[in-house]
Structure 1
Amino acid sequence: MMNSSEELSLPQKLSKDIISYILEENLQPGDKLPNETIISEKLNAGRSSVREAMKLLASRNIVKIRQGSGTYVASKPGMVEDPLGLTFIGDKKKLVHDLLQVRALLEPSIAAMAATNADDNDIRRIRKLCEEIEVLVKENKDHTQKDIEFHTAIALSSKNVVVPRLIPVINSSIPLFVETTGNTLLKETIETHREITEAIAAHDAMRAQDAMYLHIVYNRKTIAINEEKEND
């Protein structure tokens, strides 16, 4: 019986070796990898196999291949924009409900972690984004991108290495929520964002958890009300 390493194709095995090289050399997002010839020599492999391995890594968003420039560590290695394939779910109404359920499970706890672990720089960033969203909401301008940045900043403040990798799940839902609620949650958005921000700034984990849960509940209620109107 073959073991797992024997079952891997040569490009797959080389892709694992290249990841090991990136980690050993402590290459950071945006850093350039050595050229194909040097990598081939280091891994004792043919250039065509290394080229295939790099394509595999590019498909997994671990490296970025720039024609005429070289190969670089991706800005968010291993993270793709839509890791769960939510784009391909046709029933957007059900998707919104199910995303809300998942966010209700995740985000209150993430906010609590952020309240416990956020440093002064994190708090400044969260507060700045909260204020920027408030201005956009009051001016009746699209605040979707800033909303995404706000929730991303909270996730990063958790200091949990797995949580940032959940960000695409949260981010993909925000434009859907804004669209489904008809952007009617203006007052509630301002109030709950403020409460989340102040709870994190006060390092009050329970208050941050409750504020985030309330934020999601407002979304859920508004979506339900809008659906009732549509069905009348």
Structure 2
Amino acid sequence: MSADDRYRPGYEVVAEQLLAYIAEHDLRPGDRLPTEKGLAEELGTTRNVTREAVKVLAAIGRLTVRKGAGIFVASVANPADEQLVHYQPTDMEHVLMLLDYRRLIEGETARRASELATPVQVRAIRGHADQSGVAARAGDASGFAAADAAFHDAVSEAARNVFLQSGVTNARRFAGQSDVLLFHGDVPGSLEAAAAQHIAIAEAIAGGDPDRAAVLMTEHVDTTRHQFERRIRDRVFNLPGRSHPPEPPSQPAKEARA
């Protein structure tokens, strides 16, 4: 355990170690892991902390616990997704690759939605964007999260391509794993800024402006990348005993969840 790990919840550290264990042993969906006791011994931790880590990983869909049978690497719906079974939600390199993928796929999804969305789909996109604004102004993080997910799902549906839609859904699922393990579901930035971005994207789609829709969606995902990097920096330098780095020159901030 590193010095930094001493200031983190034990289950979070062990959850990372379990994912690393799966990758190091090249375990695949459906493969069985050792028992809680066996994992605790392998990782040099307690059984209670291991149990909590297993619960967290089961909750985000990385492990499956079958009573009387054991702990397994979670199955995937699509065999092609097996390549993603070793995704590390707390590894900066992995998360940045995921955000780069989202930048590409969601920008194109918004572009196509602006060209292909039906009036009913446009109303749905606008409605979810407006709902995110209502939740943001009320400080309702859970309500915002629901509207945010519905907004992105509606945009991907309007693109009329099941492969794009599946890609957006999977990417956001993996992003949610990082949120849980790194930030415990905390709001990473300004909800109102995110809602304003949703509304601008919705208007570009409604106006049939594919270039603007793509640019706005790409900026929306870029915002997530910037706030993620900032949260990681804050996480590191806010640890006890750490000195803070000099603040960068101030500039207009656009933090928001994509």
The answer to whether the superposition gives a TM-score over 0.5 is yes
Out of 198, 204, 207, the position equivalent to 1:202 is 207
Distance 1:102 1:135, change over 3 A: same
Contact 2:132–2:148 at 8 Å: present in 1 too?
A: yes
* 1:66-104 per-position Cα deviation (integer Å, ceiling 9, x unaligned): xxxxxxxxxxxxx93997365753442434322111101
Aligned ranges 1:76-225 → 2 under 5 Å = 80=77, 84=81, 89-94=87-92, 95-141=94-140, 142=142, 143-176=144-177, 180=183, 182-225=187-230
Distance 1:216 1:167, change over 3 A: closer
Contact 2:105–2:167 at 8 Å: present in 1 too?
A: no
Distance 1:231 1:183, change over 3 A: closer
* 1:148-204 per-position Cα deviation (integer Å, ceiling 9, x unaligned): 221111011012242222233233045347554743232320121111100000010
Distance 1:213 1:82, change over 3 A: farther
The percent identity for this pair of structures is: 21
Cα distance in 2 for partners of 1:89, 1:107 equals 20
Distance 1:83 1:186, change over 3 A: farther
Contact 1:185–1:222 at 8 Å: present in 2 too?
A: no
Q: Match for residue 25 of structure 1?
A: none
- Return the letter of the residue paired with 2:193: E
Q: Find the residue that maps to 1:84 and give its secondary structure.
A: helix
Cα distance in 2 for partners of 1:90, 1:219 equals 18
Ranges in structure 1 where 5+ consecutive residues have no aligned partner:
1-78
Contact 2:188–2:227 at 8 Å: present in 1 too?
A: no
Which TM-score applies when normalising by structure 2? Answer: 0.53
Ranges in structure 2 where 5+ consecutive residues have no aligned partner:
1-75, 238-258
Q: Match for residue 233 of structure 2?
A: 228
Please state how far the C-alpha of 1:111 moved relative to its aligned partner. Answer: 0.3
Please state how far the C-alpha of 1:105 moved relative to its aligned partner. Answer: 1.4
217-226 vs 137-146, which deviates more? 137-146
Cα distance in 2 for partners of 1:93, 1:119 equals 39
Cα distance in 2 for partners of 1:123, 1:218 equals 24
Larger radius of gyration: 1
- Return the letter of the residue paired with 1:230: R
- The count of residues paired between Structure 1 and Structure 2 equals 154
Cα distance in 1 for partners of 2:232, 2:152 equals 26
CA RMSD, aligned part only? 2.5
* 1:38-81 per-position Cα deviation (integer Å, ceiling 9, x unaligned): xxxxxxxxxxxxxxxxxxxxxxxxxxxxxxxxxxxxxxxxx939
Which TM-score applies when normalising by structure 1? Answer: 0.59
Please state how far the C-alpha of 1:223 moved relative to its aligned partner. Answer: 1.1
Distance 1:172 1:229, change over 3 A: same
Aligned ranges 1:7-22 → 2 under 5 Å = none
